[in-house]
Structures are given as structure tokens and as C-alpha cells.
Amino acid sequence: MAFTYARLARTIVARVHELGEGGELRALVEACGDEDAVEYVLDERKSEQRLASLLRNLLRLLNDYEERRMIPPLGRSDTSPTFFVYRFADDLELGEDERDLLARYRLQHELLELLRNLDPNAFEHLCGRILAAVGCTHYYVTRMSQDQGVDCFGRLPAAARTPPGGLQLAPGERVLGGLSFLLFAQAKRYGADNPVDVNVIRDIEGAWRDIENRRGDRELPVDLARGLQEVGYRSADPVLLMVMATSSFTGPAEEAAKSLGVVTLDGEQIGQFMLENELGVERLDLAVWRTDEGVVLRFCLAA
């Protein structure tokens, strides 16, 4: 990034020099200052010295901008307490853990670009790994040619199993002790300028209803039947529908998801989750982290 900014600064300085030779810079200076200012700025005897000074100042400004853009302090989100947000408050003090997390957050833009350029099958496997990371005891990624709009299943226990007697557990935990959710997820590896629309949200609900009907009629494709069996789905288990995307969701899509009870994870949330939990990144040194295609693919395809 520093190399890119240095090249930009040199281009700006060269352009200033061209404007001076063509008279455009003189006209600009004359419009903004008096005659003495014009002579000072455009004094040919010192032009090289002043251009060198301009280059140094530009580099310093661009580097300062890069520091603020990429390495701002972190604070917890007011609307979603489980996520961090960038804050530029100078008086925000960071603990050691947050400083380490901040080092990972510097990779967020790079990580999202990697996710958006993954092979679609690799991204589906990444979504399966995320299901495991959020607590699913089993997950299954379907074959792309037979997925019927389903990309992965996961089994998420609602609570710890009730031990014999179970009297030490709260009543709610005793009731939920043997319950598990089926997570039924679609993976949308979209570009940043291609948000998930409302039809995707409606389609996933329809896809699940179709699976239930075909399962009852014993007409379910082999791969889907195997996936439901591997995650241990039972007819009475509640189902959570999920859409995980590398882009964002349109307003109508978000409203439909709320009304239908569909869980959504957009690219920023997936990136935050991966960075906060050290998934798809690796430490090089104290508070020095990196991510690249190999690191992300190893996470996607890990057994």
C-alpha cells in the first residue's frame, strides 16, 4: 500500500510540474493569491526544491490517511454488541486483547476480497466451517450438482444435555437439553456491488418446504437425504434458515428475513467473525497477522 501511495504522490508532483509549464498552474495560483505569492510558488530557481518538498508532504499526508483508514481504534457496536466497529475517538483506550484484535482487523478489506474471489465450492465449504465454528456438532456440504438450492446443513444443540437427575439445571435448560436445531444454509458468493435481493430470502423458505414435502414422500435426492442423515435431523427438530453472503442484503431482503425468521450473515459480519475467531488468518509474530488465498483455502477445506 505504501508503494501505491508513493507512486500516486509522484504522479501528483509530475502533474503539478506539467501544469506549471503549461501555464494552468500559474492561472490557478493567480486566482488564489497575490503577485508575491505567484512569484514565490512559481520561482523557477527553486521549483525543484519546492516540488521535492511537495512530494515529501504528500507522502506524509497519504501515510497518515492510511493509518487512520486502516488502523482506527475499535469500539463495540451500539446496535450489535457482539461486533466491533471502527471508531476514531482518540481517547478510546484499548486493552491488550483489543489491540491484538485490531491487528487482525487491518486485514478485513483484504479478507473480504479473498472471499469474494473464492471458487464457489470453496465458499460453500467455508460456510460449513463457519457453522462448525458457531457450535454445530455436525455439518454437511452438499454436492453442487444436486443441492436443490441447499448448500450446507448443520446440527446446533440448543443446550447441554440433561445429566441424570438434571436438578442442577434451570427448568428451561432441562426442557431444551435434548433439542437441536437444523441449520439449513445457502451460500451466496457475490461481488461487493451485487447485494442479495428479496427473492433469495423467499426462495430459501420455499426450498425448505419442498425438501420437507419430498422427504415425506421419500422422493428426496440422495445427496440431500445423506446430508440430513449425517447431521442427525429428526422430524420434530426446529429449523433455522440461513443465507450467508459475501456482499450485503437489500432493504427488502432484510425486511423479508425478519418477517420470515431467516438468519442473514453479510460479508462484513462473516469477515468480522473470522477475524475475531482467528479463522482464515494466521499469526506471524506478536500482533502481526496475515491472510492470503492459501490460508483461507486451508480453513475452507479443513476436515
- Report which listed range, 19-28, 61-70, 273-282, is most confident: 273-282
Average pLDDT over the chain reads 81
Q: What is the mean pLDDT of residues 220-243?
A: 91
Predicted confidence (pLDDT) at residue 97 exceeds the cutoff of 70: yes
Predicted confidence (pLDDT) at residue 242 exceeds the cutoff of 90: yes
Where is pLDDT greater, at 260 or 53?
Answer: 260
pLDDT at 72: 53
Q: What is the mean pLDDT of residues 164-181?
A: 64
pLDDT > 70: percent of the chain: 78
The answer to whether 125 and 189 have CB atoms below 8 angstroms apart is no
Count of residues in the chain: 303
Q: What is the pLDDT of residues 60-79, one digit of tens each?
A: 887 766 655 555 556 666 66
Q: Identify the structural domains of the chain with CATH numbers, from first to last.
A: 2-70 (no CATH), 74-105 (no CATH), 108-301 (3.40.91.30)
Q: CA-to-CA distance for 257 and 273, rounded, in angstroms?
A: 20
Predicted confidence (pLDDT) at residue 47 exceeds the cutoff of 80: no
Where is pLDDT greater, at 77 or 120?
Answer: 120
pLDDT at 111: 92
What residues contact 143, with CB distance under 8 A and at least 6 apart?
223
The pTM of the whole model exceeds 0.75: no
pLDDT at 257: 94
The answer to whether 115 and 270 have CB atoms below 8 angstroms apart is yes
pLDDT at 74: 63
